Amino acid sequence: MTEQTSLSFANVQAALGGENFQGSASEIHGLLTGIISSGFEFEDDSYLSLVSDFFNNGEGLGKNLKDLLKQLYGDIWQAVLDDNFSFQLLLPDDDEAMVERGPALSLWVQGFNLGFGLQQKDKSKFSEDVAEIIKDFGDIANLSSELDEDEETENAYYEILEYVRISALLCFAELGAKPEANNPENTIH
């Protein structure tokens, strides 16, 4: 993937499918967002080892997969630092069936919980709001995959999606390690 390639759910999922890889695009995005939102340093590239350990049986990642993960990681950083709240979860498009989108949201939250838990083990650092978010995310991660294709389910999905998106940003605002602006090595592209 080139730098200009847009990282949509479909193209990330397709790239992951070409590798001997056990995770979905939404789950990987959630994991990376979880570690970033809980205080992971921008310069630390050990996230590649985390992804390899959890989703590739600890085997090395190929160059294409590493490049994809680095781009995904950089894109997440750029989005969570954006003052316009441009951060979005990497999920199937709105025109996909609810039976695709609902489980993908659940996987995203599971990935977030995993990444957050790996990075942030000291619950005493959490505000009451973050503690409640982590509890809520545990519930969201276990949502039923048997979803109806109706307006009520669609509306509930969007409410949960927006709650998760804003909550991830809140976790980052409270616990995230902002890159130092004066250090040229920390420039996010």
User: pLDDT per residue over 145-182, tens digit each?
Assistant: 677 888 898 999 999 999 999 999 999 999 998 887 54
Q: Give the C-alpha separation, 156 to 116, whole Å.
A: 25
Are 180 and 186 in contact by the 8 Å Cβ rule? The answer is yes
pTM: 0.89
Are 89 and 165 in contact by the 8 Å Cβ rule? The answer is yes
For the domain spanning 9-186, the CATH number is 1.20.120.740
User: pLDDT per residue over 51-95, tens digit each?
Assistant: 988 888 878 888 988 999 999 999 999 999 998 889 999 999 999
